[in-house]
Structure 1
């Protein structure tokens, strides 16, 4: 496996990377990849209604369908945010990010 460093959104070997985001809203898990341009143009997918986190294989298939693949060694990083900041009894919002690149090797 090649050791590839990521600096400021670019792989050292010149490939552009993005951060795919997964979050839960309105009873659905949603996945999107911010890319240059209007937010309305960002690749996105809303999973079927369910409370369980979509399995890793399903997330991977969706990313592939949106035209992205994981970078070498990429893993989902999970984040917990309190619905009410500073309140340790507040419900938690769970989200995740993973580093991806365009499947075709293209730029933005």
Structure 2
């Protein structure tokens, strides 16, 4: 999940396919970080869920001293059919 410099959140699932084929969900412009439930709902719409014992890990990605920070979050997921 990433936050653009325009304040838009996007969730995408990294697969072994090409990045243009990764399942994705855009939350659009939103102020606060999407809630755990909103993230779970977005994953479910894409056919995924958090893997057992998975949690969200956050990383700040500054591009310069005076620039805004882009936030990235990651979590291990699994297909809802149980496949990894």
Q: Same fold (TM over 0.5)?
A: yes
| Structure 2 counterpart of 1:44, from 10, 21, 24 | 24
Distance 1:96 1:62, change over 3 A: same
| Structure 1 counterpart of 2:49, from 51, 61, 69 | 69
- TM-score, normalised to structure 2, is 0.86
1:23 is aligned to 2
SS in 2 for 1:47: strand
2:63 is aligned to 83
1:90, distance to aligned residue in structure 2 (A): 4.0
2:76 is aligned to 99
Structure 2: gaps spanning 5 or more residues: none
Count of matched residue pairs: 83
Determine the C-alpha separation between the residues in 2 that align with 1:106 and 1:56.
22
